[in-house]
Amino acid sequence: MPRSRVLLLHNQPVLPAGHPDAASEYEILEVVEDIDRVVRAAGYKTERLSVGNDLQRLIDGLIKIQPDAVFNLFEGLADRPSTETVVAGILEWFHVSFTGSPSETLALARDKQRTKLMLRGAGLPTAPFFVVEHLPVPKCTLKWPVIVKPAMQDCSIGIDQSSVVTNQSQLENRVEHVLARYGPVLVEQFINGREFQVSLIEGAPDERGRCVPLALPLSEIVFKDKSLWPIYSYTAKWAETSNEYQSAPLVVPVIIRPDWLERINDVAKRAYRLLNCRDYARVDMRVDSDGEPYILEVNPNPFINSLALSDGLGAVGLSHNQFVADLVEAALSRRDPRSAAFRDRKTRSGDGKTRRGRSKSSERPRSRRKPRGRTI
pLDDT digits (tens, 9 = 90+) for 111-123: 999 999 999 999 9
Per-residue pLDDT, 343: 57
* Domain's final residue, options 169, 189, 209: 189
CATH number of domain containing 229? 3.30.470.20
The reply to whether 135 and 119 lie within a common domain is: no
Q: How many CA atoms lie within 13 A of 206 on its CB side?
A: 7
3-state secondary structure of 13: coil
- Residue 340 within any structural domain of the chain: yes
> Taking residues 327-343, what's their average pLDDT?
80
pLDDT exceeds cutoff 70 at 221: yes
The reply to whether 205 and 286 lie within a common domain is: yes
The reply to whether 300 and 202 lie within a common domain is: yes
Give me the amino acid identity at 182.
Y
The reply to whether 255 and 280 lie within a common domain is: yes
**CA separation, residue 126 to residues 190, 228, 249, 284 (Å):** 11, 23, 24, 11
- Residue 82 within any structural domain of the chain: yes
The reply to whether 294 and 339 lie within a common domain is: no
The reply to whether 18 and 46 lie within a common domain is: yes
The reply to whether 134 and 116 lie within a common domain is: no
> Taking residues 155-162, what's their average pLDDT?
90
Per-residue pLDDT, 354: 39
- Residue 163 within any structural domain of the chain: yes
By mean pLDDT, which of 99-108, 158-167, 253-262, 303-312 is the weakest?
303-312
The reply to whether 169 and 299 lie within a common domain is: no
**pTM for the predicted model, two decimal places:** 0.85
Higher pLDDT, 235 or 21: 235
Which residues fall within 8 angstroms of residue 216, CB to CB, at 6 or more apart? 198, 199, 200, 201, 308, 309, 312, 313, 315, 316
The reply to whether 63 and 149 lie within a common domain is: no
Q: Work out the percent of the chain whose per-residue pLDDT is above 90.
A: 66
User: For the chain, what is the domain count?
Assistant: 3
Per-residue pLDDT, 347: 41
Cα 213 to Cα 210: distance, rounded to the nearest angstrom: 9
Q: How many CA atoms lie within 13 A of 197 on its CB side?
A: 24
| Structural domain boundaries enclosing 85 | 5-99+332-344
Cα 27 to Cα 88: distance, rounded to the nearest angstrom: 20
The reply to whether 303 and 244 lie within a common domain is: yes
Q: Where are the alpha helices (DSSP H) in 125-257?
A: 168-182, 234-238, 243-246
The reply to whether 41 and 140 lie within a common domain is: no
CATH number of domain containing 178? 3.30.1490.20
pLDDT exceeds cutoff 50 at 364: no
3-state secondary structure of 94: coil
Per-residue pLDDT, 341: 53
> Taking residues 58-79, what's their average pLDDT?
92
Cα 192 to Cα 226: distance, rounded to the nearest angstrom: 13
> Phi and psi dihedrals of 321, rounded to 5?
-60, -40
- Residue 88 within any structural domain of the chain: yes
- Residue 302 within any structural domain of the chain: yes
The reply to whether 86 and 229 lie within a common domain is: no
Average pLDDT, the chain: 86
Cα 164 to Cα 69: distance, rounded to the nearest angstrom: 43
* Domain's final residue, options 162, 189, 216: 189
> Phi and psi dihedrals of 74, rounded to 5?
-75, 120
Per-residue pLDDT, 340: 57
Cα 256 to Cα 260: distance, rounded to the nearest angstrom: 7
Question: Which pLDDT band, with edges at 50, 70 and 90, does 207 fall under?
Answer: low
Cα 276 to Cα 257: distance, rounded to the nearest angstrom: 29
Task: Give 45-67 pLDDT, tens digit per residue.
Answer: 999 999 998 999 999 999 999 99
- Residue 364 within any structural domain of the chain: no
pLDDT exceeds cutoff 90 at 368: no
- Residue 147 within any structural domain of the chain: yes
Per-residue pLDDT, 370: 38
Per-residue pLDDT, 77: 84
pLDDT exceeds cutoff 90 at 204: no
> Taking residues 80-103, what's their average pLDDT?
93
- Residue 14 within any structural domain of the chain: yes
Which residues fall within 8 angstroms of residue 10, CB to CB, at 6 or more apart? 28, 29, 31, 32, 48, 49, 50, 51, 73, 74, 75
Question: Which pLDDT band, with edges at 50, 70 and 90, does 24 fall under?
Answer: low
